[in-house]
Amino acid sequence: MLKLTSDLLFAERKEFKCSTDLTTSGHEGMWVIPDASQSAGNYAIRPDAADTYCLAYPIWNESFRHEAGMVSGAFAGTRGSSGFTGDVAKTGKITTLSGHFRALTDWFTGSPTIGQKLGVTTDGRLVVTSTANAVVAVCVKASHSITYLGQAYTVIEFETV
């Protein structure tokens, strides 16, 4: 889950090609990195080493939200399951956000507190880091509960750096 709390004035959308693995197991709010080994460029992957990337982006595509049995076939994922709405599977691309913005996310691990620097784990979650060149955001509001689109979430608020 990724809910912006600032406007998009200083944020930019970036589209990345991605593997089927990411389109079927990814989540909105998961952080990904550019894959420099792809000769075509503009390709996103999960981080392969925790806490080492300062160039990472949260996925901004909508994850599955419908209830079980509402949709069948290739787009039959249900609320809370991995994967995205049909546009991601069809295009093979995800949309990420870059730049300076604030947002709420449930894709974090540990218990970040206000002012702590955040890096990215290998499963794309935010985590407290002390590695200076791995900071992607700063926690601006500690863990709390919200209801978003009818679903309860435990989230933190962060600001990108």
Over the stretch 40-54, which tens digit does the pLDDT of each residue have?
Answer: 556 777 777 766 767
Partners of 160 in beta bridges: 137
Q: What is the CA radius of gyration of the chain?
A: 15
Q: Average pLDDT for residues 6-22, to the nearest whole number? A: 86
6 is in which domain, residue-wise? 2-160
Distance from C-alpha of 67 to C-alpha of 69, rounded to nearest angstrom? 6
CA 100 to chain centre: 15
Is 110:127 a contact under the CB 8 Å cutoff? yes
Distance from C-alpha of 145 to C-alpha of 68, rounded to nearest angstrom? 24
Q: Average pLDDT for residues 68-91, to the nearest whole number? A: 57
pTM: 0.83
Q: Average pLDDT for residues 135-149, to the nearest whole number? A: 95
Domain count, the chain: 1
